[in-house]
Amino acid sequence: MRFDLVDLKLLIAVAEAHSITAGAERAHLALASASARIKGLEQTFGVELFKRGRRGVVLTAAGESLLDHARIIIANVEIMQGDLATFASGLRANVQLLANTVGLAEHLPQALAAFLREHPDINVDVEERESTDIAEAVASGRADLGFAAEHALPDTLERFAFGEDRLILVAGRRGPFAGRRQVDFAETAGQDFIGLTQGTALNVHIGKHAARLGIRQHVRARLRDFDAICQMVAAGVGIAIVPEAAARRCARLMPIGLIALRDAWASRRLVICARSFKALPRPAKLLVDHLRRAAS
């Protein structure tokens, strides 16, 4: 087989632009050269990769398959270049970890702090994403590891359990939910909410379920920190949905009531996931081993 990284980058660019002309521009190639490279790829694999039409090009099934492989290959090359660059700068390694809101706020800080103390030559880049986005990024090779809700992961990803995450309703000691032990999320319709800032993974997760029930949440304030949210609830400004671990911690210091949500989506199994734990670079494997011990 005769093809190179330029061919794969061109394939990705053309697929994303739905145009060989635009793809060639993105790949910094002349149109004639780009067309020849696409034809060369098709001849190499013996399949048609694109359907040509008046409005541009569309990937065939074979093209979709090659696109998935191309993205993984390019991502791995970029990771390799990044790792070698850190060696050149005097650092040893870098691990990419994507985590949902709950993992980032409640579960990972202590475990990561211990890992970084033990391994001063390894850096960990942690980025917050929604669990479905984490699954896609890990599956495509754009991230080494993910900390996500298991229900969002495809069967192709390897994983191990880290803990349980239960979302609960937090309310003031006085109000419509005073004395309640359990509620359905639908019962919160029309209530004032204290929510997370826009774009946070948990905010997106809750918003999706509100939309499915036709609930339009009236959000009085948006905050990034669970403790600050619970302080607002304690002051009687509104109700909130937060992780149980954060709610119980805050309840020891604040006059708030904790009410279980009966909805199935409120209980989630949290896992560490990867495309293949065995195939991870050594620094990522060290982090996986550390997180396994922390989970147990």
Handedness of CA 224, 228, 232, 233 (dihedral sign): positive
| pLDDT tens track, the chain, 296 positions | 577 899 999 999 999 999 999 999 999 999 999 999 999 999 989 999 999 888 889 999 999 999 999 998 888 888 777 767 765 554 557 899 999 888 888 889 999 999 999 998 888 999 988 888 899 999 988 889 999 988 889 899 999 999 888 899 999 988 888 889 999 999 999 999 999 888 777 888 888 889 988 888 899 999 988 999 999 999 999 999 998 988 999 999 999 999 999 998 888 889 999 999 998 888 899 999 999 999 86
Question: How high is the pLDDT of residue 90?
Answer: 47
Report which DSSP code applies to 273. E
Let me know whether 175 and 60 are in one domain: no
DSSP H/E element including 101: helix 101-102
CA 95 vs. chain centroid, Å, equals: 15
- State which residues form the domain around 237: 165-267
Residue 134: count other Cβ atoms within 10 Å of its Cβ: 28
Report which DSSP code applies to 144. S
Query: Looking at residue 10, which CATH number applies to its domain?
Result: 1.10.10.10
Let me know whether 174 and 93 are in one domain: no
Residue 24 token pair: 């060639």
Query: Looking at residue 127, which CATH number applies to its domain?
Result: 3.40.190.10
Task: Round to whole Å and give the CA distance between 179 and 206.
Answer: 24
What pTM value is reported for the model? 0.58
Of 56, 77, 98, the position where a domain reaches its end is: 77
Let me know whether 90 and 133 are in one domain: yes
Let me know whether 140 and 282 are in one domain: yes
- Count of domains forming the chain: 3
Question: How high is the pLDDT of residue 162?
Answer: 92
Let me know whether 158 and 186 are in one domain: no
Let me know whether 30 and 123 are in one domain: no
Question: How high is the pLDDT of residue 55?
Answer: 84
Let me know whether 201 and 224 are in one domain: yes
Question: How high is the pLDDT of residue 86?
Answer: 62
